[in-house]
Structure 1
Amino acid sequence: MSDIDIRITGRAGRITLTRPQALNAMTYDMCLAIEAALDDWAGNDAVALVVIDAEGERAFCSGGDIAELYETGTRGDYAYGRRFWADEYRLNNKIFGYDKPVVSFMQGFTMGGGVGIGCHGSHRVVGESSQIAMPECGIGLVPDVGGTLILARAPGRLGEYLGTTATRLGPDDAIFAGFADVFLPEASWPEVIAKLETTGDPAEIKGETPPPGSLRDQLAEIDRHFSGADLEAVLDSLQTADTGFAKDTLKKLSRVSPLSAACTIEIIHRLRDTGPTMATALDLEYRFTYRAMEDGDFLEGIRAAIIDKDRNPRWQHAGGQVPPAAISHMLQPLGADAVKL
């Protein structure tokens, strides 16, 4: 497949995304190919670890390739999207629970679906260009691909902030928030990967201190404003604060789907209250994505951002006051249609 290069080199199972012209966006076929490789290597003693990387300087993986999701959804065909998300989430869960080390090297943009393949392994490497984000609320989804698990485990109320505002994380902030483990200058990556291929030992990864980020200094203010029970409480808190952070955060929240932001906060609260697990995170995420085309803002979000590019989405509940019944509907159990991992 021209979009992805899967092979065994030395002791390493190697997966390289090869769509740099498309910022290595994940297609459905790429998702299935990665899962098949992981299944093949699980019982292969010659493969000691898995290394996932990507071609190009701009992105490890900018997200899922959503063109076909939009095309099928606007025809009223919701089955394709539901199948895509279900299969993708199964892969995310497989990476998270894989019995062998999974090492990812994430340069440039790692967003959405890229988080799903890059941020659930055992050794997650970032470099000076790394920018990690969960921007789904801006297109009418919720952070998914298991991203809500990371958000629920993040320090303080950082998860609610990152999940609703799509704030991009440089290497230090990504490590602080739990999306990455190790900083290595990108010039050293080829040498480190070669050692991994030779030895099959993740101890070859020796991290360095990244340039300092900003989240640690902002955490107290993030906690103050995002400690409320719901989106409305968060907005009320921010609107009463005359600070640069509050104004910037309100601007970010004004761009996202209120329904998505409200459901994101609810999912993170549920996960944190019950003790976050990957299975629960993916189950809650799939409840939303299963309904996102038919009842959510997903198709309108894609229209405004990708198709017409007018950046003027007509969101439901545009004032930010999302009825509890709307949140409950999007997150109610799916019964026999629940995601199967």
Structure 2
Amino acid sequence: MSDLSIRIEGRAGRITLTRPKALNALSHEMALEIHATLDRWQSDNRVALILIDAEGDKAFCAGGDITRIHAEGVAGNYAPTRQFWRDEYRLNVALATSAKPVVTLLHGFTMGGGVGVGCHAQLRIADESTRIAMPECGIGLVPDAGGSFILSRAPGRRGEYLGITGHRMDAAEAIHAGFADLFIPRDDWPALTEALVSEGQIEIARRFARDPGAKPLADGAAMIDRVFSARTMTELNERLDRETDPLAEAARKALSRISPLSGAISLRLIREVRQVATLREAVTLEYRCTHRLIDEGDLIEGIRAQVIDKDRQPCWRHTGFDQITEAEIDRFFQPPDGGDLT
């Protein structure tokens, strides 16, 4: 496939995303091919580890191919997107449970579906350009591709904060929140890659690790925990209005732009996922939400406003968080008509 470079080098199976002009956005075909390759390499004795990286300077993977989702959605054809999510979430679980250790090099934008490919690996490496985020509420979706599972395990209420505001984490913040493991400067990546390929041992990456520096999310922990422990989005907004530090101001701006429905569902989702034990259970809950959001939520309108027309003026189904009832949120957590993700 032209969007992927798949090969064995030394002791490593290598997968490189090769869509730099599209910020390495993940298509359905790419997800299927990566999964098939993972399955094939589980029994290949030549492969000691699997190394996933991406071409270009801007992004490891900026998310799923949402322009395609929009085109199919406006035509009322939701089945292809639902199938994509089923296969994508299965890939996320396969990455997390691979018997062969997976290493990912997360440069630039790593968002949404890119988190699904890059952040369920056994060893996740960030550099000075890394910006990791779950920005789905801004397009009318919820944190998916297993992102809700990582968010739910972040310290304190950082998961709710990151999942609802879409805050872009640098390397230090991503390590603090559990989305990455090591900071290794980009100039050291060629030597790192050569060592991984030749030795086939992920532990050697720690030789290259450096201190990532300050962790603003940790510095803002008290405010985040005060605000994002609120029971509802309405209460959360009220608490946020009483805060004065710059992190709170940025959060207020973020909440003013997101889909109210997606924010409310995401708050519930992260907390529901905090109660489950496995990524497999998490993506089952995610799929219940995303399956409905494509036609009962704001997803198609959000993609239009942010990506297609770029007018940044979405017409959300609700104008405020106070319009959303618990019963409405409950509906998104019911098994879909075609049954749960398996």
Shared fold by TM > 0.5? yes
Whether the aligned pair in 2 keeps the contact of 1:304 and 1:310 (CA below 8 Å) is yes
Matched, 1:79 2:79: yes
Whether the aligned pair in 1 keeps the contact of 2:223 and 2:243 (CA below 8 Å) is no
1:19 corresponds to? 19
Aligned residue type for 2:264:
A
2:171 corresponds to? 171
1:317 corresponds to? 318
Once the two structures are TM-superposed, the CA of residue 320 in structure 1 deviates from its matched residue by 1.5
2:183 corresponds to? 183
The 5 Å alignment of 1:51-70 reads: 51-70=51-70
The number of aligned residues is 339
Paired with 2:138 and 2:292, the residues of 1 have a C-alpha distance of 17
Whether the aligned pair in 2 keeps the contact of 1:89 and 1:282 (CA below 8 Å) is yes
Whether the aligned pair in 2 keeps the contact of 1:93 and 1:278 (CA below 8 Å) is yes
The 5 Å alignment of 1:102-181 reads: 102-181=102-181
Paired with 1:149 and 1:22, the residues of 2 have a C-alpha distance of 27
The 5 Å alignment of 1:257-268 reads: 257-268=259-270
Please say which of residues 51-60 and 209-218 is displaced more in the overlay.
Answer: 209-218
2:232 corresponds to? 230
1:269 corresponds to? 271
Aligned residue type for 1:292:
L
1:303 corresponds to? 304
Paired with 1:302 and 1:335, the residues of 2 have a C-alpha distance of 25
Whether the aligned pair in 1 keeps the contact of 2:115 and 2:147 (CA below 8 Å) is yes
Whether the aligned pair in 2 keeps the contact of 1:153 and 1:276 (CA below 8 Å) is no
Once the two structures are TM-superposed, the CA of residue 228 in structure 1 deviates from its matched residue by 1.1
Matched, 1:50 2:50: yes
1:98 corresponds to? 98
Once the two structures are TM-superposed, the CA of residue 183 in structure 1 deviates from its matched residue by 0.6
Question: Residue 24 of structure 1 aligns to a residue in which SS?
Answer: coil
Whether the aligned pair in 1 keeps the contact of 2:276 and 2:282 (CA below 8 Å) is no
Stretches of structure 2 that go unaligned for 5 or more consecutive residues are none
Q: Deviation per CA, 1:202-246, whole angstroms, max 9, x where unpaired?
A: 111012111323111001110000111121111111123344333
Paired with 2:249 and 2:225, the residues of 1 have a C-alpha distance of 16
Compute the RMSD of aligned alpha carbons.
Answer: 1.1
Paired with 1:242 and 1:169, the residues of 2 have a C-alpha distance of 21
Whether the aligned pair in 2 keeps the contact of 1:149 and 1:276 (CA below 8 Å) is no
Aligned residue type for 2:287:
Y
Paired with 2:245 and 2:18, the residues of 1 have a C-alpha distance of 43
Question: Residue 254 of structure 1 aligns to a residue in which SS?
Answer: helix
Stretches of structure 1 that go unaligned for 5 or more consecutive residues are none
Aligned residue type for 2:24:
N
Paired with 1:45 and 1:95, the residues of 2 have a C-alpha distance of 18
